[in-house]
Chain A
Amino acid sequence: MPAADTIPSSDQRSRTDARHDAWFRGLLKFCALLVLAALLGAALSTLWGGREVLFKDGFHFLASDAWNPVSDDYGALAPIFGTLVTSLIALVLAVPVSFGIALFLTEIAPTWLRGPVATAIELLASIPSIIYGMWGLFVFVPFMASIEPMLSDTLGKLPLVGKLFEGPPLGLGLLTAGIVLAVMILPFICSVMREVFQTVPVRLKESSYALGSTTWEVVWDIVLPYTRSAVIGGIFLGLGRALGETMAVTFVLGNAYSITSSLLMPGTSISSSIANEFNEAVGTHRSALIALGFLLFVVTFVVLLIARLMLRRLARKEGH
């Protein structure tokens, strides 16, 4: 039996421990809640900063394509148009290429090649966006200017899609920005696809091979249906990146407030409008730019929400 006088002291000790535990837990919880505060704060602060434009004449702001700092008349249509068009071009180009790379890395390449190539593709994601912008402006824009006449002469002559490839070969423009964005988001989509392709049970694939399927049939009929929701999630993740990307598109977009049918014409996007004009803007102009930021945040939030939900479905299927 312990001596009588040690009992209260050990009791006291466990009480101190419990108190410290509660403090520690509180501290950790506070830090975790800061993550929520950051997201909520970003939404609320841009809403507050853009209130002058958003609430005074909200519908006009959303539906007008005017952007005139002199008469203080702002409409978000042209930047929204540019953001959507460049992101769509990026998706159309990046999704098949990412799929091809993921297929190569999971099914075709010899094992010794997979690691290095996967690392190289992921390095594309760690190159800062300003470098993409510089490369885009100084190297890729002249390159595009040299091949755009060819595009106009061939694709531009087609019915229907021909309209998309008309116009002077400036090099700058929606198409160029879309291609640069495609290169930027490719590693994100690819790494999701590669990761989920590896979760497909080997048994399923081997059964299919045993029935005489070709590699392509295994991928198209077994792997892809099995991972469908996560692949869509990965694509939305890439879309979220593309919508919010600033530096890579600002240089190559041409900064023109116009809505055109041709992809070769210059345009603007939400993020590049903000980056280009914010520091010179005052009053309503600045408020309009912050309101644009709010729109961008809401749109990307929804897109990323869908992406994460789709990705989580697969995680649940795995039993995590």
Chain B
Amino acid sequence: MIRVVLPAHLRTLARVEGEVKLDVAGQVTQRSVLDALEASYPMLRGTIRDQVTRQRRAFVRFFACEQDISQESPDEPLPEAVASGAEPFLVIGAMAGG
């Protein structure tokens, strides 16, 4: 079970409280986690990744195990602690004012 922490605006949009728990088939990567997230919560499509390019939106960051992994390949395996559910995968709205 993968644990995902969403920023407040996306929790409101997805109508969830606290962490989201997802079953992810196969290798646990940014892409597979986000695919599973969007399949369960279709209203989140386009809010984390661009609808057309599938690229991470510029002001969205991904943290895991106290590391910023935003720049890593979306197909890079996530840390074992995330894959095992010991640590969450964090989706962060970049600290950009406003």
A, B co-complexed = no
